[in-house]
């Protein structure tokens, strides 16, 4: 049976830190391998991307494989052809699917009807590759992940869900500040808590950030939510990560963002460009974390 990476819990708890350690080793030693030699991985993107596409294409090549990119306009993913048929056909052509799409159920259908690995490059519910890169970024500065307090300020979205799953996997404390009506999915939160996640939920960003070592946020209106922009601006008033909010964190607090960022909305220009900002390390670490994930799948 092929391995898949749809959410962080897909990697067993006794293996997930080893994937992070391998990503660090790959980064430090500029590792190139022939693990994927002779293999073709299809990148099927229904949502546009810069970092995700480039990091996966480069990563597949650095592992000796051949990436093939398929944009939404070129794909039958969930359109006129039943998705289960697409899954069975693509399994005859390629050795893996890296999919950036809307509903998580699409990935689950590809897994059910195909017989090649499927990697979640982003859905509306989860963004696990980003969180693995974020954990690598934190690990580089604080190897004792279980000692950390991580704050999330903003929408209880796919990033928040994956940070919640990350708490169960890596042991850090997670404090989320979300406006009313924008909380994370209760079922996802409950399931993670049952696996050991240490999570608190508040409406007050100052409470979430108090004593935090890392402060994370995301755009207020994600891709596909543009028509909600004005409504969300009103709901998220007071949720900007700015100097005053960062001052409530630990003395060496760092700012993180999955990018792209809307300066002047979820984060101030001053914080984004400050020495506390480690967003470029995060962006680079997508490459290394994803290479380690692919190695975990195919080795």
pLDDT per residue as tens digits for the range 205-235 = 999 999 999 999 999 977 666 778 889 999 9
CA dihedral 20, 22, 26, 31 (to 10 degrees): -150
Give me the residues paired with residue 43 across strands: 69, 98
Count, residues in the chain: 299
292 with 247, same domain: the answer is no
Contact residues for 298 (Cβ-Cβ < 8 A; gap 6+): 35, 36, 39, 63, 96, 117
Active site residues: 100, 127, 130, 218, 258, 286
Q: Helix, strand or coil for residue 201? A: strand
Does the annotation place 263 within a ligand binding site? no
Q: Which pLDDT score is estimated for 273?
A: 98
Residue 1: CB atoms within 10 A of its CB come to 5
Q: Measure the CA angle with vertex 199, ends 195 and 204; round to 5°.
A: 165
Domain membership of residue 135 (yes or no) is: no
CATH number at residue 57: 3.40.50.1370
Does the annotation place 218 within a ligand binding site? yes
103 with 153, same domain: the answer is no
Does the annotation place 66 within a ligand binding site? no
121 with 9, same domain: the answer is yes
* Residue at token pair 């964190």: 249
* Cα→Cα distances 298→57, 74, 112, 160, 293, Å: 16, 27, 19, 28, 9
Which of 40, 43, 46 is CA-nearest to residue 69?
43
| Whole-angstrom distance, CA of residue 20 vs CA of residue 18 | 5
Q: What is the span of the domain harbouring residue 235?
A: 142-277
Q: Which pLDDT score is estimated for 228?
A: 81
Per the CB < 8 A criterion, the answer to whether 153 and 245 are in contact is: yes
Domain membership of residue 267 (yes or no) is: yes
Per-residue pLDDT of the chain (299 residues; tens, 9 = 90+): 999 999 999 999 999 999 999 999 999 999 999 999 999 999 999 998 999 999 999 999 999 999 999 987 777 665 678 999 999 999 999 999 999 999 999 999 999 999 999 999 999 999 999 999 999 999 999 999 999 999 999 999 999 999 999 999 999 999 999 999 999 999 999 999 999 999 999 999 999 999 999 999 999 977 666 778 889 999 999 999 999 999 999 999 999 999 999 999 999 999 999 999 999 999 999 999 999 999 999 99
Domain membership of residue 136 (yes or no) is: no
258 with 292, same domain: the answer is no
| Whole-angstrom distance, CA of residue 17 vs CA of residue 24 | 11
- Total number of domains constituting the chain: 2
Domain membership of residue 132 (yes or no) is: no
Does the annotation place 18 within a ligand binding site? no
Domain membership of residue 134 (yes or no) is: no
270 with 154, same domain: the answer is yes
Q: Which pLDDT score is estimated for 222?
A: 73
Q: Which pLDDT score is estimated for 79?
A: 66
146 with 265, same domain: the answer is yes
Exposure of 74 in the CB half-sphere (CA atoms within 13 A): 9
179-190 pLDDT per residue, tens: 999 999 999 999
153 with 260, same domain: the answer is yes
Q: Which pLDDT score is estimated for 229?
A: 83
248 with 289, same domain: the answer is no
Supply the DSSP symbol for 117: -
Q: CA 182, 188, 190, 196 torsion: positive or negative?
A: negative
67 with 161, same domain: the answer is no
225 with 183, same domain: the answer is yes
275-287 pLDDT per residue, tens: 999 999 999 999 9
273 with 147, same domain: the answer is yes
Domain membership of residue 88 (yes or no) is: yes
């Amino acid at each position: 049976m092929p391995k898949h990476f749809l959410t962080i819990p897909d990697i067993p708890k006794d293996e997930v830190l080893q994937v992070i350690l391998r990503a660090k080793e790959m980064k430090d030693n500029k590792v190139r391998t022939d693990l994927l030699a002779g293999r073709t991985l299809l990148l099927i993107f229904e949502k546009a991307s810069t970092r995700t596409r480039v990091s996966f294409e480069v990563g597949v090549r650095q592992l000796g494989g051949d990436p093939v990119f398929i944009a939404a306009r070129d794909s039958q993913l969930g359109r006129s052809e039943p998705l289960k048929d697409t899954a069975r056909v693509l399994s005859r052509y390629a050795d893996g699917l890296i999919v950036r799409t809307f509903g998580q159920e699409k990935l689950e259908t590809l897994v059910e009807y195909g017989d090649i690995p499927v990697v979640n490059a982003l859905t509306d519910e989860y963004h696990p590759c980003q969180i693995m890169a974020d954990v690598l970024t934190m690990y580089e500065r604080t190897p004792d992940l279980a000692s950390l307090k991580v704050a999330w300020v903003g929408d209880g979205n796919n990033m928040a869900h994956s940070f919640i799953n990350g708490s169960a996997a890596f042991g850090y404390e997670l404090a989320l500040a979300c406006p009313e009506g924008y909380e994370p999915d209760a079922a996802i939160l409950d399931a993670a808590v049952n696996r050991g996640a240490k999570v608190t939920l508040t409406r007050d960003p100052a409470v979430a950030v108090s004593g935090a070592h890392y402060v994370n946020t995301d755009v207020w209106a994600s891709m596909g939510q543009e028509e909600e922009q004005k409504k969300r601006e009103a709901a998220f008033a007071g949720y900007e990560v700015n100097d005053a909010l960062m001052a409530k964190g630990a003395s060496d607090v760092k700012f993180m963002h999955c990018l792209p960022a809307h300066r002047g909305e979820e984060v101030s220009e001053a914080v984004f460009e400050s020495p506390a900002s480690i967003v470029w390390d995060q962006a680079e670490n997508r490459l290394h974390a994803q290479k380690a994930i692919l190695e975990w799948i195919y080795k």
